[in-house]
Structure 1
Amino acid sequence: MAENGTLSFSDPDGYAAGFGDARVNLTITGAGDFKARLTRLKLTDLEIYRCCESLPRIAYISLPPEQMFLSFPVGTVSLISDGFALRNDDIVLHGRGQRTHQRSNEACQWGLISLSPEQFASCGKALTGQAIAPPQASRILRPARAEISRFQRLFAQACHLAEARQKLIERPEVARALEQEMLHAIINCLVANETYGNAKTRHHHAAVMVRFEEALDKHIDQKLSMPALCAELGVPARTLRMCCADFLGVSPTRYLLLQRLNQARSALRRADPATASVAEVARSHRFLELGRFAVTYRTTFGESPSATLQRDPQT
């Protein structure tokens, strides 16, 4: 992706690849045509993303440890971050190298900002008079109204400059002034108190979900039974079902099915209809009953597998 500007996507995989060093795995959970817009603004010590998505989805996000990250809803649609329903004045300060689940139940917009730990520390000390240590685990913050309003206004201005005023943002004095304003707004927001009452339980459940994702990735080409999966994770089935309901909004088996359906859809979109068949793609993703696969696929995505195969890959 270009350093500054906006790109549009109709392919979830292409969109997920646009987040730089952050790895985003999307599992689409609703029917319809996926559309997304990704706006990016790269400054000296800040990298700013605005993400607009047309369908409900589950995102599993792996953040690189070299940077610090904030994520937050944009507008009034709620996001669920590691089982916590965010308000539009909440900010998630992620732990270094964190892996996190974020889901939406409808079309949504959200923001992601990365900054260097060194800049965070020096700016934090200059503004507050004391060092602000990067968190080991995520913190969900609800800043004062004045601080979050200023932060949201600057975020909107930064995205507008990336989209429509690229010549202006290329001027060093403009970029430097915007970055300093953003850094000050971020630090002032991050001194807010946490909003989540039982952080210890939330962090434990987040660790269970990371191990769950690792197990799914490890056994990606194998059929998993729930007893075997729970034994590998070292948690009772009830705990795993509860964590998946909170973090993903679906059961463990439904999530696994949705992942396989999304992988099959990506394969159908990439395939050449002159040489590939629905049956071939279905079998390669462990769907052995073609009729049942077709019904489940249509119910999930709103179109038949054959219609996906015949699509122009660019649409």
Structure 2
Amino acid sequence: MTSKPNGKVSANTFHGTFTDPGAMARALAGLDPEASGPHPTGASKGFLGSFARAALGPLHVGVGNFSSGIPQSAGIPNLHIFMFPTQHSLVRKVSGQQLFGPQIFHCRPNDITVTSSPGHQPWAFGIITIPFDVLATHAQELTGRDHAVPMNDNRMFRVPEPVFSRLVILIRYLERLVREQSSIINAPRPVRALSGSIIDALVACLTLSHAMPDRTVLGRHRKILDRFLQLVEERPEDMLSLSDICAEVGVAHRTLNMICQDFLSQAPIQYARERRLDRVRERLLASAPNETSVTNVATQYGFWELGRFAQAYRLRFGERPSESLAKPR
């Protein structure tokens, strides 16, 4: 299994295929350098994915798919990010809400978004990132009014099929250009035309859609999850027990387990363990063999039973910890 994508990169485009969800996550992160993640969690055995992205001026567009819906979390930067399925039959849970069919999910800026797939089913998707001012100006010019729905929170839009299909067709056309004729996207005139068409289609989807209201309980659960995720990220070297975590977050065991299963499709201890494994891998890949050892890094992040650690690491990343440490820098 390789951690490097098999693909091509130009100034404005990228496309590749992946057998490692971590490598695909790094390609997804290229949509916006200010984003944190995504961070995949869970075993990667049998993973196969593909992803293409293009920078069309201030508009960044990505389209991809993967064979197994591994849970992941990502820090959302201070701009609009829209996510939607490109195959109606597939489902992805995004921050506790089911995304499927002709729907678009808007991620809350400056927040953490968590995604998972029921039964680890496949997922095919499009992602659009666009600055606040660009969307506001374009919507005003196209419709003669500001978009009426607040865009400072998680929001699910149910879109009429015809306008949604138009957006998906444009995204798939862009993917084909990136893979087969990427030189076109490096020319100013086609970039302006394609960017304008995609923004027009997105604004039409938002303008004609029905914004599904947030549920009060979902909002409360989301705040609890945010506290849990922040704790895991701020204390990566602490092997916290479930009781410790619940005391820090301020909820009962049963409540936290229910929320993590709903949002992350994982128990809280499992998620925290996967994130510590991620931190170990990041350190091993960034270090030289003569500077540190697998034992030192593993124990720093709370893995004291080295045999079980090595087994979990290999299941998670498809290679032994020593192989990660030995990789050329």
Whether TM exceeds 0.5 here: the answer is: yes
Instruction: Say which SS state the counterpart of residue 40 (structure 2) adopts.
Output: strand
> 1:80-106 deviations in whole A, cap 9, x for unaligned?
101222114221122332321112324
More displaced 10-residue stretch of structure 1: 132-141 or 214-223: 132-141
Tell me which residue corresponds to 1:163: 179
Equivalent of 2:142 in 119, 122, 127: 127
Alpha-carbon deviation of 1:208? 1.8
> Relative to structure 2, which stretch is displaced further, 243-252 or 125-134?
125-134
Aligned to 1:99: 112
- C-alpha change, 1:2 and 1:239, in structure 2 (3 Å) is farther
TM-aligned CA deviation for residue 254 of structure 1? 1.0
Unaligned runs of 5+ in 1: none
Q: How many residues align?
A: 311
Q: Structure 1 pair 107/183, CA: closer, same or farther in 2 (3 Å)?
A: same
Q: What is the letter of the counterpart of residue 173 of structure 1?
A: R
Deviates more, 1:115-124 or 1:300-309: 300-309
* Offset, 1:179: 1.7
Give 1:245 shift.
Answer: 0.6
114, 123, 129: which one aligns with 1:108 = 123
Measured in 1, the distance between the counterparts of 2:90 and 2:325 equals: 32
- Contact 2:13/2:55 (<8 A) preserved: no
How far apart in 1 are the matches of 2:156 and 2:141? 23
Residues 26 and 37 in structure 2, CA contact (< 8 A), matched pair in contact too: no
Q: CA deviation at 1:250?
A: 0.9
Q: Which amino acid aligns with 1:97?
A: N
- The letter for the 1-side match of 2:164 is I
Between 1:16-25 and 1:201-210, the stretch displaced more is 16-25
**Larger deviation: 288-297 or 42-51?**
288-297
Contact 2:236 2:276 in 1 (8 A): no
Percent identical among aligned pairs is 27
Alpha-carbon distance in structure 2 between the residues aligned to 1:285 and 1:174: 49
1:51 to 48, 52, 64: 64
Structure 2: gaps (5+ residues):
1-8
Match of residue 204 from structure 1 = 220
- Contact persistence 1:30–1:56 (CA under 8 A): no
Alpha-carbon contact 1:270-1:313 (below 8 Å) kept: no
1:6 aligns with one of 9, 14, 19: 14
Deviates more, 1:161-170 or 1:277-286: 277-286
**Equivalent residue of 1:221, what SS?**
coil
Structure-1 separation of matches of 2:214 and 2:80: 23
What is the CA deviation profile of residues 191-217 of structure 1, one whole-angstrom value per residue up to 9, with x for unaligned ones? 31134x653322222222222111112
After superposing the two structures, state which structure 1 stretch, 236-245 or 158-167, moved more.
158-167
The 3-state SS of whatever aligns with 2:246 is: helix
Matches within 5 A, 1:230-309: 230-268=246-284, 278-300=294-316, 305=321
Cα separation, 2, equivalents of 1:170 and 1:206: 41
In the superposition, the TM-score normalised over structure 1's length comes to 0.84
Report how far residue 109 of structure 1 moved.
Answer: 3.1
Kindly provide the amino acid, as one letter, of the partner of residue 6 in structure 1.
F
- SS in structure 2 of the partner of residue 178 of structure 1: helix
Q: 1:268 to 1:109 in 2, by over 3 A?
A: farther
Task: Give the secondary structure class of the aligned counterpart of 1:229.
Answer: helix
**Aligned residue in 1 for 2:77:** 64
Compare 79-88 and 245-254 and name the one that shifted more. Answer: 79-88
Aligned Cα root-mean-square deviation (Å): 2.9
* Superposed displacement of residue 273, structure 1: 6.5
What is the CA distance between 1:44 and its match in structure 2? 2.6
Question: In structure 2, how many angstroms separate the alpha carbons of the residues matched to 1:85 and 1:244?
Answer: 15
Give distance in 1, aligned partners of 2:322 and 2:13.
35
Report if aligned partners of 2:12, 2:185 keep a CA contact under 8 Å in 1: no
**Residue 251 of structure 1: CA displacement?**
0.8
Where does 1:15-54 land on structure 2 (aligned, <5 Å)?
15=27, 17-20=29-32, 21-32=34-45, 36-54=49-67
Q: Shift of residue 283 of structure 1?
A: 2.3
Q: 1:193 aligns with which of 179, 195, 210?
A: 210
Quick one: structure 1 residues 234 and 280, their matched pair in 2 at CA, closer, same or farther if it must change by over 3 Å? Answer: closer
Distance 1:142 1:303, change over 3 A: same
Task: Decide which moves more: 200-209 or 252-261.
Answer: 200-209
Q: Secondary structure of 1:91's partner? A: strand
